[in-house]
Chains A and B, each alone.
Chain A
Amino acid sequence: MEWWNSLPPTAQVWLGGILKGSLILVWGLLNFAICLMLERKISAWIQNRVGPWRVGLWGWIQPIADLIKLWVKEYIHPNNVDKWLYLIAPFIGFVTANLVWLIVPFGDKFIATDLEIGIIFIAAVTGYDVIATFMAGWGSNNKYSLLGAMRGAAQLISYEITMVMSLIGVVMMAGSLRLSDIVLAQQERGFLGWFLFPQAIGFIVYLIASLAELNRAPFDLAEAEQELVAGHHTEYSGMRWAMFMLAEYIHLAAWSAIAATLFLGGWSGPTLGQVAAGLGNVLNGFGAFVNPVGTAVADWGMSIMGSTVLNWIAGVFWLVLKTYFFIFLAMWIRWTLPRVRIDQLMDLGWKFLLPVSLFNIFLTGTLRYVAVTFDGLPISIGSFTMRLLGWWL
């Protein structure tokens, strides 16, 4: 790192920014390819089909073939479109989807930008997506697109509020908006410390709200194929259309990573060192019959436990695992449920999820107050239940 430190600070900022930006872009595209393939495969498995099978091993190169196909396709530019809106819209969606990855922590201090206002940043950036939708819908000069855009706007605005409200419980428990702090706050009691358990209500509300936020079935009203042909991107073709798809899948992956970070402990999980140490301990029979093999494994584990790189790799592994759990969940839901109607969507958002998320804030606050108040007092019968309730808090 000598040469890096010898660079002037301005160069460090610029070079670091470019490096981070390209890494995130590559990471986003990688996730897109995997998500696209998973979507096709999972839908095929759910529907008694095989899915793509010809290109590459088990068809896994199919997404790249698709992208090349879309790349060389003609860009159809319809008459009477609002030119700039029409041209820019796909890229805005793509950029906002990638921006979310900026603040996802992959490991301890392994994060592109550790923003202090992480959660507010998420809310702000995902909110931008509606602008892309609306620009595309308005600029296309197509009635289906306009209807889709109006739906998308209404949906995003209503669910944005619910989504942020459902995250406030997490913020209250972690005491910070910074995502790395939130992960650290979850590491206290192994996986029992994950906010999934104390924040079960917030978690479910967040899941539903972000499915709506992502425009995924059963809330894919903006592009409801059977009603509005393709909604806001009806008039797009070739790579511009692919940009919407890219944005959709990168957004899905980013949303899943955020969900994993906030509710499933993010990158926290046993590292290689910890696993080896544990394995050595088991081989030694927990000290009952100490043997050289067990001791060697345990020692090796202890020696690599402090390695930053290995811990980062473990962090990435666990984060990706948890992320793809959520991605699978979203796909499973998409290929199982029918679509809701726009008024039902609004009813669900405003009349049910929003009050529930507000109640969650109230509940979290109350339990936290109880936990803090009774902390340190001798356990009596009366306070015991309260302590139990507030145990996780």
Chain B
Amino acid sequence: MERTQELLVNMGPQHPSTHGVLRLMVKLDGEQVTWCEPDIGYLHRCFEKLSEQKTYPQVIPFTDRTDYLAALLNEMCYVEAVEKLFGDAIVVPERAQYIRVMMAELQRITSHLLALGSMAMDLGAVTPFLYCWRDREKIYSLFERITGGRMLYNYLRIGGVRNDLPEGIIGTPQDGEDKADKTIWGFINYFDAYVYPQWKELVTGNRIFQYRTQKIGVLTAEQAIAYAASGAVLRGSGVKWDLRKNLPYSIYDRLEFDIPVGKNGDCFDRWWVRQEEMFQSSRIVKQCLAWLAENPGPVMAKVPRVLKPPKGEIYHRIEGARGEVACYVVSDGGTNPYKVKWRSPAFTHLQLMPLLCPGHKVADIIAILGSIDVVLGEVDR
């Protein structure tokens, strides 16, 4: 008997472009996607539960490993949440704040570079990925000198940062391409002169790339808000919402930067927002560098040896690389947090897959997944 049936394909958990171990169940009518459902949990590592067994400072390395591509941003979220719990008892020195923001923005550049590179690779262009790798390595070399770690840092402390910037890492605004992996100024100048224009012209300007991403996975502003999207996904849909501007934390209210906003909410706009955000991050880093070069000082507040925040709870959110990273910390007055709960943007964004994918082709699933930039470590925690 002849019959037709939709083809159920399990993309993942082992698949070349599921960015880790994501399983996408997809129903196909020929090349057309009719249904798509993400299945998560393959990378669950019990970080939230484990945090309850550790003291407050001991939780910081876990935060690195949730979103391992933007570790410093997670650290920043957790550390600021705990500092908020202490209230006025801990006053973070200004220099530490600037270092944190500068590091966070450099981290945002690395994270976006990888997001752009892997999305380009998902679309079949392998070379941009290697270029992104080359440029990301330069920041990682800088991070290695500052923090000692290349990917997972454990650098931020409750009350400041672990150590001041090493001698000579800031450099001077005249540092050129040859110092890109030696001084931060060198990297920023290299970024502005080469990396950003290269991405703009070679990939964003590529006709095939535009055909593949424009009008694909369109997310309207209403849908984006209804699905609690944030970060580049929200701004790609045209909603001007950035926690750094709208609810400034740390020292972001003293810095000057713009918020790039897309128009159509398609894959291309999300891509474009990330690319422009990298440029804005480089602007922020420059301002921080100028301040840091002139204002030496302590980088660590006076904190008690054993951290016992007063009883209470706090929900702190910051603008992470992928969207709003938030941390909910409950203290029972003891040395260990009573509860640490993460709000991870990638988890929230993954629920967009069933909304965006149907009606598109198989190849578009990959483009959409790349454009919402999922990191599975963060989804499953």
By CB atoms of chain B within 10 A, which of A144, A217, A224, A227 has the most?
A227
With both beta carbons as reference points, the residue of chain B lying nearest to A341 in the complex is identified as B363
Tell me if B254 is interfacial: C-beta within 8 Å of chain A: no
B211, A226: Cβ atoms closer than 8 Å: no
> What A residues does B130 contact at CB under 8 A?
47-49
What is the distance, in angstroms, from B119's C-beta to the closest C-beta of chain A?
A: 10
Q: Which residues on the B side are within 8 Å of A340 (C-beta)?
A: 208, 211-212
Please give me the residue from chain A that is nearest to B210 by CB atom. Answer: A338
Stretch at the interface among B104-112, B120-128, B262-270, B292-300: B120-128
Q: How large is the interface on A (under 10, 10 to 19, 20 to 34, 35 or more residues)?
A: 20 to 34
Task: Name the interface residues of A318-356: CB closer than 8 Å to any CB of B.
Answer: 335-344
B16 touches A225 (CB 8 A): yes
Q: Is the CB of B366 within 8 A of A338?
A: no
Whether A337 lies near B17 (C-beta < 8 A) is: no
For A227, what are the chain B residues with a Cβ–Cβ distance below 8 Å?
17, 362-363, 365-366
Is residue B131 within 8 Å, beta carbon to beta carbon, of the partner chain? yes
Task: Give Cα A335 to B365, complex, Å.
Answer: 22
Q: How far is the CB of A303 from chain B (nearest CB, A)?
A: 51
The answer to the question of A129 belonging to the interface, with a C-beta cut-off of 8 Å to chain B, is no
Give the number of residues in B that approach A within 8 Å (Cβ atoms).
30
Nearest chain B residue, comparing its CB with the CB of A228: B362
A13 at the interface (CB under 8 A from B): no
Check A220 for interface membership: any CB of B closer than 8 A.
yes
Q: CB-defined interface of A207-238 with B at 8 Å, one 1/0 digit per residue?
A: 00000000001101000111111000000000
CB-defined contacts of B211 to chain A, threshold 8 Å: 340-341, 344
B15 within 8 A of partner (CB)? yes
B127-170 CB contacts (< 8 Å) to partner A: 127, 130-131, 134
Distance of A13 Cα from B131 Cα, bound (Å): 55
Flag if B17 contacts A226 (CB, 8 Å): yes
- CB < 8 Å neighbour of A342 from B127, B206, B361: B361
Q: Are A147 and B362 in contact (CB under 8 A)?
A: yes
Flag whether B324 is at the interface (Cβ < 8 A): no
Q: Return A139 CB to nearest CB of chain B, in Å.
A: 17
Q: Interface of A with B (CB < 8 Å)?
A: 43, 46-49, 143-144, 146-147, 150-151, 217-218, 220, 224-229, 335-344
A-B contacts, 10 of them at CB < 8 A, read A48-B131, A144-B9, A151-B31, A218-B124, A224-B124, A226-B17, A228-B362, A341-B212, A341-B361, A344-B211
Given contacts A146-B7, A147-B9, A147-B31, 16 further A-B contacts (CB under 8 A): A47-B126, A47-B131, A151-B31, A225-B16, A226-B121, A226-B123, A227-B17, A227-B363, A229-B15, A335-B126, A337-B124, A338-B120, A339-B124, A341-B364, A343-B31, A344-B212
Interface residues in chain B, defined as those with a beta carbon under 8 Å from any beta carbon in chain A: 7, 9, 15-17, 28, 30-31, 120-127, 130-131, 134, 206, 208-209, 211-212, 361-366
